[in-house]
C-alpha cells in the first residue's frame, strides 16, 4: 500500500513537472510578432556598423532572418543562398538582415570567409531573438525563423523552422507575390 501511494505521488509530481516545462517552453509563442503587426523596432551592431536600427529601413522590404550560428553548415548554406540572390533582392528594393546571438567580430569573420556582403546583426544579449520569439531555449541560440517586413514596417510573412537549402527561393516567391508580380 505504501509503495502504491509513493508511486502515485511520484507519478503526479512528474506529470506536474512535465506540464510546467511544456508551459515554460511554449509560454513565449504568443509573443511572436504576427502578420499584419508592425515589426518591433530594435538597434543592434553589425559586422560593419555599431548601430543598425530596423526602422532605418522603412520604405524598403526587409528580410529579417534569425539563424543559430556562424560557420556551421546549415547557416552557411542559408547565407550563401541569400548572397547568391542578392541582385534579385536589390531589384525588389529589399535588404537582408541576419540575426544571431554571436558577436560582431564573429560575424565579420564569417562574412569575410564566406564572401557575404549583407548585414549580420549581433544579438549578444538575446533581447531581439526573444522579442521575435526566435530562441532555442535549451541551447541559447537563435532559432531559424524569418520575417518578411514590408516597406510600411508591417510583417507580411513569417516562416518558422525554415529549411536553409531552399529558403531564399521561398522568400523571393513571397516577395514577388506581395508585390503583385
| R_g over Cα of the chain | 20
Helices (H), the chain: 2-26, 73-84, 86-91, 104-114, 127-131, 167-178
Closest CA to 169 of 81, 76, 61, 39: 81
C-alpha–C-alpha distance, residues 73 and 28, integer Å: 28
- Which residue(s) pair with 150 in the sheet? none
The one catalytic residue among 62, 75, 99, 101: 75
Distance of CA 147 to the CA centre of its chain: 7
- 111 tagged catalytic: no
C-alpha–C-alpha distance, residues 112 and 107, integer Å: 9
What amino acid positions are annotated as catalytic residues?
Answer: 75
Amino acid at each position: 500500500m505504501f509503495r502504491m501511494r509513493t508511486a502515485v505521488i511520484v507519478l503526479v509530481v512528474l506529470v506536474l513537472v512535465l506540464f510546467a516545462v511544456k508551459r515554460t517552453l511554449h509560454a513565449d509563442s504568443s509573443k511572436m510578432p504576427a502578420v499584419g503587426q508592425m515589426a518591433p523596432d530594435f538597434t543592434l551592431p553589425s559586422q560593419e556598423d555599431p548601430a543598425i536600427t530596423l526602422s532605418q529601413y522603412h520604405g524598403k522590404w526587409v528580410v529579417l532572418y534569425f539563424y543559430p550560428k556562424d560557420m556551421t553548415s546549415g547557416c552557411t548554406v542559408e547565407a550563401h543562398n541569400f548572397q547568391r540572390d542578392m541582385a534579385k533582392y536589390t531589384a525588389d528594393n529589399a535588404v537582408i538582415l541576419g540575426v544571431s546571438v554571436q558577436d560582431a567580430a564573429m560575424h565579420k569573420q564569417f562574412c569575410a570567409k564566406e564572401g557575404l556582403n549583407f548585414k549580420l546583426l549581433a544579438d549578444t544579449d538575446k533581447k531581439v531573438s526573444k522579442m521575435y520569439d526566435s530562441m532555442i531555449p535549451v541551447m541559447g541560440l537563435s532559432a531559424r525563423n524569418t520575417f518578411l517586413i514590408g516597406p510600411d514596417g508591417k510583417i507580411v510573412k513569417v516562416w518558422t523552422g525554415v529549411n536553409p537549402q531552399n529558403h531564399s527561393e521561398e522568400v523571393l516567391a513571397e516577395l514577388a507575390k506581395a508585390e503583385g508580380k
